[in-house]
Copies of this chain bind each other. A is one copy, B any other.
Amino acid sequence: MEKPGRNRKAEIKIGLLGCGTIGSGVFHLAVKNKRAIEESAGRPVRVSKILVKDFDEPRPFPADESIMVTDPGGILEDPDIDIFVEVMGGIEPAKSFALRILNRGSNLVTANKDLIATFGPELIEAASKTGARFKFEASVGGGIPLIRPLEESLGGDNILKIMGIMNGTTNYILTRMSSEGITYEDALMEAQKLGYTESNPESDVAGTDAAHKTAILSSIAFKKGVTQDQVYREGIQSIRPEDLENARELGYSVKLLAITECDGGGIYARVHPTMIPLDHPLTSVSGNFNAVFVIGESVGELMFYGQGAGSLPTATAILGDVVNIAGELGTPLASNRDYWLRPADVRSIGDVMTKFYMVLKVVDRPGVLAKIAGVFGDNDVSLESVVQKGIGDSSEIVLITHVVRDENFRRAREGLENLEVVLEIPSVIRVEGETAASH
C-alpha cells in the first residue's frame, strides 16, 4: 500500500506556456509536491516542456532550463503533451494558442481571466466540438476553490446571488483607509510600494479586474454566457475617509464588491463600492484577501475565503485542475458547458434593486430637508434614515434609502443636483448584504 499507482499508470506530461510569476510557481510545485500530486491524480505528473520568451527572464522560482523552448510550434505541436497550462496572461498570443490547442482536442488549463471573460464562448465552443478538457479554476479567486464547487458541489441547487471581494489591491486600500483614516491616494501609494498593484493600477481601482471575474462567475453560476463588457463597473477612486467613518457609525463597512444575481430571467452583474453590515461575513475579509459569498436556494449562504492572487496560491489552483483532468483522461466528457453558448439576458444597472447611501452638502436654511425629501418622493425613493451632521457652511446630510430601482435613484439624484440649496453631492455608495445569520 505504500506507493499506490506508482509505475502502474502512464505519466501525465504537462506543456507549460509561460514561466513568469505563476508559471515558475507551477513548475516549482509540480516538482516539490510530486508524490502528493501523483496520489491525488492517480498517475505521476511531470512538466515536460516550457515555452518562454527568454531563458533568462527573472522568475520567483527556478525552472529546468533544459526543457525550455522559445519556439511556440515546438511545444504546441508536441504529440506527447497531455495537458497544456497557459500562464502567459493577456489576450494575444494566449488566445491563438488556446484555440489551436482546443480545436485539435488537446486539454488546456489556464489562469487567464481576461481571456475567459472576453472570449469564453468562443473557447468553450472549440472545446465542446472536439471534446477537449478545458479548466480555469485559477482565473477567479486565485487559490480559492470556486469554479469546481459552483459547478459540481452546487450542481443540484439554484444559485440566486453571489457577492465577492474579488480584487485584493482594492480591498487592501479600503482596509487601510478604514483602519488608519488615510486618503485613497496615500493608501494606493502604500499598496504600490508593497507590490500589491501594477505600476498602472487602473484595472484594479476602476473595478475592471473584478468585472472580468464577475463575468466568469456569472456564466458558471447562472449557466449562460456572460462577457466582461456586460458587467457594470464603478471604481473606488472617489471614496473618502469620511465615508468609511460614516459607514462604521451607521453599522457598515465599505468593500469593492462584485455582485451578480439572477431572478430566473435576467442577470444583474455589477462591480461597485458597497456598504455591507459590520456583522456580514465579508466585512471581516481584510487586507489583500479575497472572498466570495454565495446564496443558493437550497444550500443557503456559503462563503469561500483565501488568497486571491500570488504565485503559489494560483499555481495550487492550476495543479488542482491538472489533477482533475488527469483523473478523467481517456474517458468520455460528461459535460462541456454548452450552456455558455446561450446568450445571457444581462439587465442594465438601471434595473438593479438596491439601497443607497448619499451625502449632500447643503445650505443651512429652514425648509431644506423638506425640499430634498420632496425630490426623493417625486421619484418613488423612500428614505430609511436621515442624519444632519455639522452646522453652517460645513453642514452635511447623510441618508440611506430603502430598496429602490437604481434608475429611480439616478433621477432623484439629478433632481437634487438641480436644487439651489444643494451645494454638492460628494458621495453615493450602494448598500447591500442582509444575511440569514443577521436575523
Q: Which residues of A contact B (CB under 8 A)?
A: 1-2, 4-5, 25, 29-30, 33, 36-37, 39-43, 137, 143-145, 148-149, 151-158, 223, 279, 281, 283-287, 289, 291, 296, 298-307, 310, 312-313, 315-320, 322-324, 326-328, 330-336, 338-339, 341-342, 437
Contact = CB atoms under 8 A, between A and B. Distances in A.
A272 B301 CA distance: 26
A389 to B, nearest CB: 29
A291 B307 CA distance: 17
A153 B157 contact: no
A333 B284 CA distance: 41
Given A143-B300, A158-B36, A302-B306, A153 B317 contact: yes
A253 to B, nearest CB: 11
User: Which residue, A156, A330, A333, A338, has most C-beta atoms of chain B within 10 A?
Assistant: A156
B305 A302 contact: yes
Nearest to A150: B145
Given A40-B156, A156-B319, A303-B304, 19 more contacts: A1-B341, A29-B157, A42-B334, A43-B334, A149-B149, A152-B324, A154-B316, A154-B320, A155-B319, A156-B315, A156-B318, A281-B284, A284-B284, A286-B437, A298-B316, A300-B310, A302-B307, A304-B304, A326-B334
Given A299-B143, A312-B299, A158 B33 contact: yes
Given A41-B334, A152-B323, A335-B327, A299 B303 contact: no
Given A41-B155, A338-B4, A307 B316 contact: no
Contact of A153 (B315, B320, B328): B320
Contact of A331 (B4, B332, B341): B332
A39 B335 contact: yes
Nearest to A9: B334
Nearest to A30: B156
A298 B279 contact: no
Contacts of A40: 151-152, 155-156, 335
A303 B300 contact: no
Contact of A306 (B145, B291, B301): B301
Nearest to A310: B300
A305 B305 contact: yes
A283 B306 CA distance: 16
A324 to B, nearest CB: 5
A330 B331 CA distance: 8
A42 B151 CA distance: 12
24 contacts: A2-B342, A29-B156, A29-B157, A33-B156, A36-B158, A37-B156, A39-B223, A39-B339, A40-B151, A143-B296, A143-B298, A143-B299, A145-B302, A148-B152, A152-B323, A155-B324, A156-B316, A156-B320, A157-B319, A289-B437, A298-B315, A302-B304, A303-B304, A304-B304
